[in-house]
Amino acid sequence: MLIHTFTQRIRPARTVLLGAGGFLGLELSSRLATENVPVRAVSSKEIDLTGGDAAERLAALFRTDDAVVMAACIPPEKGRDVTALMKNIRMAESVAGAILRKAPAHLLYVSSDAVYDARHSSLLNEDSSCEPTSLYALAHVAREQSPENACGSHDIPFVVVRPCAIYGARDTHNSYGPNRFIRNALETGKITLFGDGEERRHHVCVADVARIIELCLLHRSVGTINAVTGEAVSFHTVASMVISAIERHIVLERAALSNPITHRHFDTTALIKACPDFRATALSDGIARTVFEMIQGDSKHREN
């Protein structure tokens, strides 16, 4: 459930964006800039959140009127083992430690829908139990709790945004779904599906996630909200949309399933209630835009 502290939209004095160099961070920076929200971008090159001095350095950077967005994370594509788990937890520990030293005005944590165990429910919402089934999901559960406790000790509004699978042209994770399908289709002329691609998921455009985060910042929201769309679609449907957008012959291949088939469906009632003006990008439109931007990006790269 999401509660708006501000009924009217009020720009933060400044937003400190942790993970500014990442896929979502870059999109959010652009989004906030268009709304004239000052952004203090912090990447891992400036402050390594796993470092022993990270909390102290962040505290020195924080202002009491800052909104802080924690979007820094090691995604599963870059590590699924205990080492990645501990690094992710240390990042949250650093943020929590900084808050205890210097309290900002608002903290927003970007989590993941991976925290839910979809095996126990066919329809998930913000009140569904968090039962992590992977080390990555476990990291997010722990990362939600650590800064929340720190915020509670200083009465700081705290909000968690849990996106489903995010896609977009600047994605670096290349996760299974729109991002990988588009890249592989453009580079090799092939798309590989697991099984018949029957598993259903929500796929959200990175611009939509940035918009939801922006609204949470403008309203100084507290609570939890899932950044999802209104419909779960099969991976086969996603592949078909990619092929249609590329408009050339693409070979559809199949690989054996390595895990049991699971589906994820989300109830979007809370999102509609909290953000009545928000409209998720239609998946076919978002894929078409992503294909166009990837092709344009490749053309510019070749020219340079």
CATH number of the domain bearing residue 127: 3.40.50.720
pTM for the model stands at: 0.94
Q: Which pLDDT does position 15 carry in this prediction?
A: 98
Same domain? 126 vs 253: no
Same domain? 223 vs 145: yes
Q: What pLDDT band is residue 298 in, cutting at 50, 70 and 90?
A: low
* 227 contact partners, CB below 8 Å, separation of at least 6: 161, 162, 163, 164, 204, 208, 209, 212, 213, 271
- In single-letter form, the type of residue at position 62 comes to F
Same domain? 50 vs 149: yes
The count of domains in the chain is 2
Say if CB 6 and CB 105 are below 8 A apart.
no
Same domain? 72 vs 140: yes
Same domain? 160 vs 172: no
Tens digits of residue pLDDT in 175-209: 899 999 999 999 999 999 999 999 999 999 999 99
Q: Which pLDDT does position 297 carry in this prediction?
A: 76
Same domain? 159 vs 80: yes
Segments forming the whole domain that contains residue 219: 2-166+204-227
Tens digits of residue pLDDT in 71-109: 999 988 888 899 999 999 999 999 999 999 999 999 999
Same domain? 211 vs 117: yes
134 falls within a domain: yes
Say if CB 237 and CB 173 are below 8 A apart.
no
186 falls within a domain: yes
Rounded to a whole number of angstroms, the CA Rg of the chain reads 19
Handedness of CA 122, 128, 130, 131 (dihedral sign): negative
Tens digits of residue pLDDT in 226-273: 999 988 999 999 999 999 999 889 999 999 988 888 888 999 999 999
Same domain? 46 vs 16: yes
Average pLDDT, the chain: 93
Same domain? 10 vs 87: yes
270 falls within a domain: no
Same domain? 53 vs 125: yes
273 falls within a domain: no
Nearest in space to 170 (alpha carbons), one of 25, 48, 46, 302: 25
